[in-house]
Amino acid sequence: MRIGLGYDVHRLTDNRKLILGGVTIPYEKGLLGHSDADVLVHAIMDSLLGAAALGDIGKHFPDTDEKYKGISSMELLKYVGDLLKKHNYIIGNIDATIIAQRPKMAPYISEMVSNISDSLNIDCNKINVKATTEEGLGFTGTGEGISSQSICLLLD
């Protein structure tokens, strides 16, 4: 068994879509990044890559490479899932948290889980996504950005 931990953060900005777990969430701001800046999926990918000792998303998808500009993080997640299979890893489970003051995430979580499940070709019951606020504290609490954490278990 291998355990991996992932963390990611992106700044909220005008004129961008807010995409989390592959779901476009109606909001006045979106996350800034080279790809679609899906902070949830980025944290999940880093936890999976870390557990497998395969580096991180910066190694596999550098923000200096134009082919990743604006790319859907769900496509990148599929690549990570395929890479894990190539190395004979089985995903035991993923537990992830979105940290954002606004917007409310609850209406979108089941769709996020479904999207992640589809991209990794694993059962939804192996994926847990939850959300929390920071009670107005820090950059997430003031609405400057959104962060996400993920932990996973890989079986080898």
Q: Per the annotation, does 101 bind a ligand?
A: yes
Question: Is 144 annotated as contributing to ligand binding?
Answer: no
**Neighbour count for residue 144 (Cβ, 10 Å):** 14
What's the CA gap between 106 and 108, in Å, rounded? 5
* Residue 10 annotated as binding site: yes
- Residue 156 annotated as binding site: no
Residue 37 is labelled as binding a ligand = no
Is 107 assigned a ligand-binding role in the annotation? no
58 annotated to a ligand binding site: yes
Residue 59, marked binder: no
Sign of CA dihedral 51, 43, 34, 75: positive
Q: Is 38 annotated as a binding residue?
A: no
- The verdict on whether residue 42 carries a ligand-binding annotation is yes
106 is known to lie in a ligand binding site: yes
105 is in an annotated binding site: yes
**How is 138-153 classified by DSSP, letter by letter?**
HHHHTTSEEEEEEEEE
Structural tokens at position 82: 């395929």
Q: Which residue ranges make up the annotated binding site? A: 8-10, 34-35, 42, 56-58, 61-65, 100-106, 132-135, 139
Q: Which residue ranges make up the annotated binding site for a divalent metal cation? A: 8, 10, 42
